[in-house]
Amino acid sequence: MHPYVPARYAYHGSSSIKATQWLETNEIELKGFRWLNRTVAHPIGKYDVSFNDDDTDPISDNTLYSQVMHQRRWKDTTPLKNFKTIICFGSQLYLEKVKNSFRSTDTQVLDGYTLKEFRRFLRS
């Protein structure tokens, strides 16, 4: 078994699986939306990292912010800082990290778990 997997398949928590199922069922990518964390093309190796545990060496707030301000993704090289809305599926701490990463932009960061559409999906 290879130590590297696409990021989309690296997360096995029930919340992550439900969010991925919702995104796929609703054909989010076909509607022009992008999965920032789930469509990372390059493989990742160490994914057992937690913002709650400094011993796991999580990415720093400054590095996250720098990525938003300077990285471009996808074939059309869209700058991350130009995104208008981010729907975040993660813990409250993760949500705060995402919000902080986009702090000097006009981006609205929403908690995906509170969206009515996602909650309806869970009941179906």
- pLDDT at position 94: 86
pLDDT score recorded for residue 105: 96
Nearest partner of 91 among 8, 33, 11, judged by Cα = 11
Place of tokens 């009941």: 123
Rg (CA), the chain: 15
Q: Is 10:44 a contact under the CB 8 Å cutoff? A: yes
User: Are the CB atoms for 65 and 100 separated by under 8 Å?
Assistant: yes
pTM of the model: 0.73
Find the distance separating the first CA and the last CA of the chain, reported in whole Å.
35
- Mention every residue, 6+ apart, whose C-beta is less than 8 A from residue 47: 5, 7, 10, 11
Per-residue pLDDT tens listing for the chain (124 residues): 456 666 666 666 677 778 878 878 888 777 777 765 543 444 556 567 778 888 877 888 999 999 899 988 777 788 889 988 888 888 899 899 999 999 999 999 999 888 888 787 777 6
